[in-house]
Structure 1
Amino acid sequence: MHIAAARDAAGRDTASTIGGVLEGRSVQPLFQPIVDLETRAVVGVEALARGPAGSALEFPDRLFAAARDSGRLGELDMLCSERALECAVATAHPPPLLFVNAEPAALNQPLSPRLVDLIQAGLPFREVLEFTERALPAVPGSMMRIAAQAQAWGNGLALDDVGVDPMSLALLPVLEPEVIKLDMSLIRDPCTASTRGVCAVVRAEARRTGAMVVAEGIETEDELAVARELGAVWGQGWLFGRPIALDQIDPASYDTSAPHSLRAARPGFHRPAGTPYEAVAASAPATAATPDSVALALARLHDTAIGLETAIVVAALPASTDAATSRSLQDLAGLARSVILLDHPVGEELTAIVLGPGEGYALSTRADHLATTEHLPTVAEVTRMLLNRLP
C-alpha cells in the first residue's frame, strides 16, 4: 500500500510539473546550425526544445518522458513548435530556414490556434517540418494530412533519422520530402553494406526529386569528409556549433539564398486527386481482369515482397473480393514488415501495393479491368491516395 501510494504521489508530482511547464509556456528552444558542407555558411537552424533551466525537466529526454507519462505529450509538442516559431520570428535576424520537429505521437491532433496564427501571419523564413522515421509507419494518415497542410502554407518537409530503420527508405518516395537527413550512425560506420545500401537509395531519391541531403552528428573534419562521400550537401553537428540561443548565431554567417535551394512547395501533392485505379492505369495500359491475369499480378506482388529486405503492404479490398484473391493477399501480408489494410476501399476498386527501399509494385482492378505498375512515383502516388483514407 505504501509503495502504491508513493507511486501515485510521484505521478501527481510529474503531472503538476508538466502542468506548470505548459501553463507557464516555459519551454525555451535552443538552435543548432545547419551548414553548407562546402562553404560552411549557415543555411538554417534546427529548433531543439529545453525545459526550465536548472530543473529536472531541462533536458528533452526527461521533459518528453514526463509529458508522455502524464498523457500530455501532444500539448508539449505543440508548445515546443509554438515557442520555436515565436523565438525565430522575434529575433532581429531570422534564419533562412527553421527546422521544427514533429513528434509522431502528437500528429493526430489538430494544430493549435496559436501555431496557425503564427504561420498564417507570414514567417520571415521558410519553415521545414521534420518527421522522424517513426512517424511513417505509426501515424501515416495523420502524417499525410499535416504534410499537405505544410505544403499548402509554402513550407518544406524533412525526413529525419534516415538509416536507422529500413522502413523509412521504403516510404521515402511517399512523403517525398525536400530534405533527407542521414542518421549520425551512418557517418560513424560508413563502410558497412547497410550504410552503402541506405546511401545509394537516398542518392537516387535525391537525384529524382531534387531533395537536399543533410548529414547529422558531424563532430570532426574526418566525419565531414565522410559525410560528403556519402552524398550529403548540408550538415549539422558539434563541428559547426552546439545548440545555442538564436541571437548568439552571427547573422553574417547566414546563406540567405538557402530557401531557394529547396524545391518549391507543391500544394495538393500529398492529397492527390483521382482514384488508385485511375493513377495506375495512367502509368501503364490496362488489360482484362481475368482470373489468370489477376493471379499473375498477385504472384508479381509476392515476388516483389520476397525480394525486399523490408516490404510494406498497403491494400484496399472491396466486399466483392473473391476468396482466392483474399487468401493470396493474406499470404502476402505474412511476407511484410508492415501491413496497412483499409476498412473503406475506394468504391469497387481492389488495390494492393508492395513498397520497399527504392522500388515498388502496385495492382488495381476496376470492374473487368486490371492495371499494374512498377513505376515508383506512381506506386508512391497510389499509396498517398490510400493513406489519406486512414483516420
Structure 2
Amino acid sequence: MANVSPSVDERLDEEFVRILRDRRLESVFQPIVHLASRATIGYEALVRGPAGSSFTDALMLLRHAYHTDLVVEFDWAARAAACRAAMAAQLTHDQLLFLNIEPLAFGTDCPPDLWPDIKTAFERFQVVLEVTERSLDRDPRSLLEGIDHQRPDVAGIAMDDLGGNGATLSMLPVLAADVIKLDQSVTQSGPTPAVMQIMDIAYEEAERTGATILAEGVETPGHAVFAESVGAALAQGLYLGPPAPLPTAFRAAEVPLSVNSEQIARLATPFDALEGRTTSRADLTYVTALSHHLTERAAELVAPALSLLLLPDPHLLTRADRIRLALQAQRGVVTGVLGPGMPDPPAAGVRGARRHDHALDGHWATLTLSPGTASALLARQVPGSVDEYEFGVTHDRRRVVAAARSLLRRLGAGSP
C-alpha cells in the first residue's frame, strides 16, 4: 500500500500544535494614541508565531486554532505571551494594555503553567480586554457571565471591530463596553450611509454609558482627520505607529485615561427592570393582546437588533409566532424564546434554553432592542391567580437593556 502524504493543512495543524504546546507564541504591540494630543496612552498586544515559522500572521494562527479545536488554549497562551512581554519591557502603570480575548474563552480555566504570568500582569497593569466579534452571539449566556466575571479585575472592556459584523452591532447595547472600537472599514470608508448608521449606534451607546470611541485602521493623515471629525477620542493604525516590540522606555502618559462606562444592573428576573415604576393588573386575554401588538410592531425588525420572548406556557407560542421569529432570525436578528416546556430550538434559527429556570415561572416578557428603539412588556402572574398578571410596558432603554441581559443569561448556545 502506498504511503499517503499529509496535506498542507494537516502539516500546518501539526506545526501549530507544536508551537502552542511549546508556548512559542510571541507578541508585538501597536500604540493606542489620544487623537487631540497625539500622546500614546497604551498599546494593543497582537499575537504572532515564532520567526521563521508559517505562523507569523495572526489570522493564520486563529484559523488553525479553530481548525484544531484549540481556540481556548490558544487564547490563554496568547494573553500570557503578551503579559510576559509587557513585564519584560517594564510597561508603566499609566499606560493601558489592550489584550484580545475570544468569546469562546470566557468562563474557561487558565492552563496552570500560564496563570502566574497573567495574574502578575493583571495586578501590575491597567488591562483592557478586547472582545472580538468572532462567535460573539453564539453563546450570550457564557459571554455575559464571562464579562461580568472579568470586569472587576480589569481597567475596562473593549468591543472590537464595530461595523465589521452584524452580531457586534446587535450585542453592543447589552455588553456595556467601556471602549467602542470602530472597525477599519468604518475609518477608511468616509461618510457613506452604512458608516453613518454605525456611527449613530456608537454615539447612542457612548452617550448612554459614557463609553470611549476608538478608531482602528488609521493609516493616512486623511484617516486621522476623519477619525477626529467623527468624535473618536482614541485611534490606532500604521499612520500613528506600526505593530512592533514595546519600547525600552516609556514617557508618562500626558493624558491619563480612565475607561469606565456606566454599568448595567444585574437582575434576578426581567420583571425586576420595572422597579420603582407603577405597574398595572390585567387578565390573560389583555396581556396576550398587548404582547401580540408589540411583536407585530417588531415584525419587520432587521439586524442589528435583539428580539426576546419569555412565555409562561408553551401553548402561547403559536405557529404564526414561530414562522415570524424564524424569519426574524433569518434576517440576522438575534432571536430567542424561553419558557417552561418550550422546545429547543423553538423555531429554525431561534435560540432556546436547554433547561428552564424556575425563577421565571409565571413570568412573561416581550422585548425588542434595536438602534434608536427599545420596548418591553414585562409581566408576572399574580400569586394565587390563574390568569391575572401584574405588568408594565417600558421604553426606557436602560431598563430594557437590563431585562434583555436577564433573558440572554438563560439562552443556550446557538450553532457555531
For Structure 1 versus Structure 2, the TM-score category normalised by the shorter chain is 0.7 to 0.9
Aligned match of 1:63? 61
Aligned match of 1:28? 26
What's the CA shift string for 1:127-172, capped at 9, x where partnerless?
A: 1111123343122122111111221224310111101233322321
| AA of the residue aligned to 1:335 | Q
Within 2, Cα distance between the matches of 1:112 and 1:285? Answer: 49
CA contact (8 A) 2:39 2:255 kept: no
Aligned match of 1:357? 371
| AA of the residue aligned to 1:262 | V
Shift of 1:384: 1.4
User: In the alignment, does 2:95 pair up with 1:99?
Assistant: no
Aligned match of 1:339? 335
Shift of 1:244: 0.6
CA contact (8 A) 1:30 1:243 kept: yes
Shift of 1:309: 4.7
| AA of the residue aligned to 1:254 | A
Unaligned residue ranges in structure 1 (runs of 5+)? none
Aligned match of 1:44? 42
User: In the alignment, does 2:110 pair up with 1:111?
Assistant: yes
- Between the aligned residues of both structures, percent identity stands at 29
Q: 1:19 aligns with which of 17, 22, 46?
A: 17
Shift of 1:193: 1.1
What's the CA shift string for 1:213-247, capped at 9, x where partnerless?
A: 00000011111111111221100000111111113
Q: 1:383 aligns with which of 382, 395, 404?
A: 404
Q: Please give the residue correspondences for 1:165-176 in structure 2 after superposition, counting only pairs within 5 Å.
A: 165-176=165-176
Shift of 1:255: 4.0
Within 1, Cα distance between the matches of 2:280 and 2:53? Answer: 63
Q: 232-241 or 165-174, which moves further after superposition?
A: 165-174
Within 1, Cα distance between the matches of 2:194 and 2:153? Answer: 36
Q: 291-300 or 194-203, which moves further after superposition?
A: 291-300
Q: 33-42 or 169-178, which moves further after superposition?
A: 169-178
Cα pair distance change 1:352/1:296, threshold 3 Å: closer
| AA of the residue aligned to 2:267 | A
| AA of the residue aligned to 1:294 | T
Cα pair distance change 1:47/1:283, threshold 3 Å: farther
Aligned match of 1:140? 140
Count of matched residue positions in the alignment of Structure 1 and Structure 2: 381
Shift of 1:332: 4.1
User: In the alignment, does 2:286 pair up with 1:292?
Assistant: yes
Q: 11-20 or 216-225, which moves further after superposition?
A: 11-20
Within 2, Cα distance between the matches of 1:106 and 1:114? Answer: 17
Q: Is the helix fraction higher in 1 or 2? A: 1
Shift of 1:21: 0.9
CA contact (8 A) 2:159 2:179 kept: yes
What's the CA shift string for 1:312-343, capped at 9, x where partnerless?
A: 2223333x2443x4446424413342322334
- Secondary structure of the residue aligned to 1:21 is helix
- Secondary structure of the residue aligned to 1:251 is coil
Aligned match of 1:330? 322
- Secondary structure of the residue aligned to 1:87 is helix
Within 2, Cα distance between the matches of 1:285 and 1:178? Answer: 33
Q: Please give the residue correspondences for 1:171-250 in structure 2 after superposition, counting only pairs within 5 Å.
A: 171-247=171-247, 250=249
Within 2, Cα distance between the matches of 1:301 and 1:282? Answer: 25
Shift of 1:65: 1.7
CA contact (8 A) 1:281 1:372 kept: no
Aligned match of 1:131? 131
CA contact (8 A) 2:127 2:155 kept: yes
Within 2, Cα distance between the matches of 1:88 and 1:362? Answer: 45
Q: TM-score, normalised by structure 2?
A: 0.83
Shift of 1:356: 1.6
What's the CA shift string for 1:241-265, capped at 9, x where partnerless?
A: 11111135x512634612xx21179
User: In the alignment, does 2:300 pair up with 1:306?
Assistant: yes
Cα pair distance change 1:110/1:284, threshold 3 Å: farther
Q: 74-83 or 175-184, which moves further after superposition?
A: 74-83
CA contact (8 A) 1:155 1:265 kept: no
Shift of 1:16: 3.0
CA contact (8 A) 1:82 1:114 kept: no
Within 1, Cα distance between the matches of 2:277 and 2:323? Answer: 27
Unaligned residue ranges in structure 2 (runs of 5+)? 337-351, 382-388
User: In the alignment, does 2:70 pair up with 1:78?
Assistant: no
Within 1, Cα distance between the matches of 2:14 and 2:375? Answer: 51
CA contact (8 A) 2:80 2:118 kept: no
Shift of 1:303: 1.0
Shift of 1:299: 1.5
What's the CA shift string for 1:50-71, capped at 9, x where partnerless?
A: 0011111121122222222222
Alpha-carbon RMSD across the aligned residues, in angstroms, is 2.6
Within 1, Cα distance between the matches of 2:398 and 2:210? Answer: 14
CA contact (8 A) 2:177 2:261 kept: no
